[in-house]
């Protein structure tokens, strides 16, 4: 297992972690100042600054991506809605390519309308079928441009409104169905990452009794991203009360050990949504804390 205590070579910052404080161009500069070598930005943050400007800024600072957030949201209750989702995912793949991301992270979506509090139906099985179809269609395009897709299983508390892929097992079943050969996205020899894999975010999967077994099953080819934060007790609300690593109950180092034993050797990406705590603090304090905790609590 890699020793993270000596430096933060493998720290990445998901830019949602300081989205309340700074626009993306400032985030990149603040990360560069601290020797943080990777980020994972969100599409709306990129759009607010401008795709080409962000790409240039990344080149200038030498900062690379650990992932691009996000594609997905495939289910819809009309054909036009389904097609719009596919078109949007194609654009997300293109943006990921422009930014030289190692993968496009997919938050797959769930019951149409539920995120706005007005679910259009209750058929979760239908939503899951639409997700499979949407990923299959997006995968065909993503392969053609060499962009791996990382399905992020979301915590079951988001099954209604954000993602109906809720366990690592379920995500890997889908990977095996759509990409049985674990073929490389780039179609070149020696590329070890599959075209379709998973983003393992501890906040979503830490509770799962089958977590270790499914990480082993995923292996190096399917493990495209690793996200960390912590689960607080109590958790005051469902979306934006994530904890800084070390402040909650997740045995992060144990799971990182499993992931690395399975062959993962990439970034440990910090992604904290925290309306009542970290989003209220100075952005520099947040980044400095991420660096410190990466060294002692990951």
Block residue for tokens 């422009």? 98
Residue 179 exposed, middle or buried by CB count within 10 Å (0-12, 13-18, 19+): buried
Six-digit token string for 278:
């970290």
Q: How far is the CB of 131 from its own copies (least distance, A)?
A: 11
CA angle 251-267-106, nearest 5°?
A: 90
**123 forms part of the interface with its own copies (CB under 8 A):** yes
Q: What ranges make up the beta strands (E) of 52-154? A: 64-65, 68-72, 104-107, 149-151
Gap between the Cα atoms of 92 and 239, Å rounded: 23
Residue of 5, 122, 192, 282 that binds its own copies (CB under 8 A): 122
Residue of 170, 183, 191, 240 that binds its own copies (CB under 8 A): 170
Q: Which stretch binds its own copies (CB under 8 A): 4-12, 39-47, 235-243, 276-284?
A: 235-243
Q: How far is the CB of 169 from its own copies (least distance, A)?
A: 8
Shorter beta-carbon distance to its own copies: residue 9 or 121: 121
Gap between the Cα atoms of 233 and 245, Å rounded: 13
- Residues 250-279 touching its own copies, rule: CB under 8 A, are 250-251
Binding mask 53-72 for its own copies (x = CB under 8 A): --------------------
The CA R_g of the chain, rounded to the nearest whole Å, is: 18
DSSP β-bridge partners for residue 80: none
Shorter beta-carbon distance to its own copies: residue 30 or 271: 271
Chain residues that interact with its own copies, rule: CB under 8 A: 111, 114-115, 117, 119, 122-124, 128, 155-157, 159-161, 164, 166-167, 170, 206-209, 231, 233-238, 248-251
């Amino acid at each position: 297992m890699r020793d993270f205590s000596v430096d933060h070579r493998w720290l990445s910052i998901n830019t949602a972690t300081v989205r309340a404080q700074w626009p993306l161009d400032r985030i990149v500069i603040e990360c560069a100042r601290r020797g943080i070598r990777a980020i994972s930005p969100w599409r709306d943050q990129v759009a607010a600054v401008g795709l080409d400007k962000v790409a240039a800024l990344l080149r200038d600072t030498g900062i690379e991506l650990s992932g691009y957030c996000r594609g997905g949201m495939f289910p819809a209750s009309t054909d036009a809605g389904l097609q719009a989702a596919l078109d949007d995912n194609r654009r997300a793949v293109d943006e990921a390519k422009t930014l030289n991301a190692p993968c496009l992270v997919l938050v797959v979506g769930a019951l149409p309308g539920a995120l706005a509090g007005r679910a259009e139906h209750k058929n979760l099985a239908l939503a899951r079928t639409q997700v499979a179809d949407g990923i299959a269609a997006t995968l065909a395009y993503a392969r053609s441009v060499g962009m791996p897709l990382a399905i992020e299983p979301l915590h079951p508390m988001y099954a209604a409104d954000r993602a109906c892929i809720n366990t690592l097992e379920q995500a890997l079943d889908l990977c095996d169905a759509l990409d049985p050969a674990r073929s490389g996205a780039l179609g070149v020899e020696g590329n070890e990452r599959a075209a379709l894999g998973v983003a393992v975010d501890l906040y979503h999967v830490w509770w799962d009794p089958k977590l270790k077994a499914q990480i082993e099953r995923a292996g190096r080819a399917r493990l495209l991203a690793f996200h960390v934060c912590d689960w607080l007790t109590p958790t005051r609300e469902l979306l934006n009360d994530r904890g800084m690593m070390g402040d909650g109950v997740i045995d992060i180092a144990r799971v990182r050990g499993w992931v690395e034993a399975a062959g993962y050797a990439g970034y440990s990406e910090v992604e904290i949504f925290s309306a009542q705590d970290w989003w209220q603090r100075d952005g520099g304090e947040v980044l400095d804390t991420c660096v410190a905790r990466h060294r002692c609590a990951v």
